[in-house]
Amino acid sequence: MDPVRASTRYSVKTTGARAKEILDVRKPSMTSRFGSWAVAQSRIVEGVKGVLASTTVLSVDLAKYIAFALEGYSLSCRLQGVQLVDEVSLALAKWQARGCVNANLVIIRNNVLSIPAPTPPGP
């Protein structure tokens, strides 16, 4: 492989004009994805605040519950079915170990994320 040729090809790919061309093509989809992500995140945060408004959760701990909900949302975007339920159960156990109340986490899982509880194994 000719190092001069490789360097020339790399230089052509990394010019400012080429980078702008690539960005111009990708920008609409990037903007759309970010917009939908921001709307979903704000919906989740407001849902968690609404669900926990009637409980005695301290405002300092509210960030933990929001982090759990956002983690569950991220999992729901990547996984489905039993695998999703299992991963959210693991996240629930993790956040419970970090000091969150299990009942509040279950309420968030059910009402905000709409993810069902895992089914116990049959006989």
d(CA 42, CA 45): 5
Amino acid 17: pLDDT: 81
pTM of the model: 0.75
Across residues 93-108, what is the average pLDDT?
93
Q: Mean pLDDT in the chain?
A: 88
Tens of pLDDT, residues 51-76: 998 888 888 889 999 999 999 999 99
Pair of tokens at residue 92:
């629930």
Contacts of range 21-25, beta carbons closer than 8 Å, 24 or more positions apart: none
Please give the pLDDT value at position 13: 67
Domain ranges of the chain: 37-112
Tell me the backbone φ, ψ of residue 15, rounded to 5 degrees.
-75, 160
In terms of pLDDT, which residue wins out, 5 or 112? 112
* DSSP assigned state of 58: -
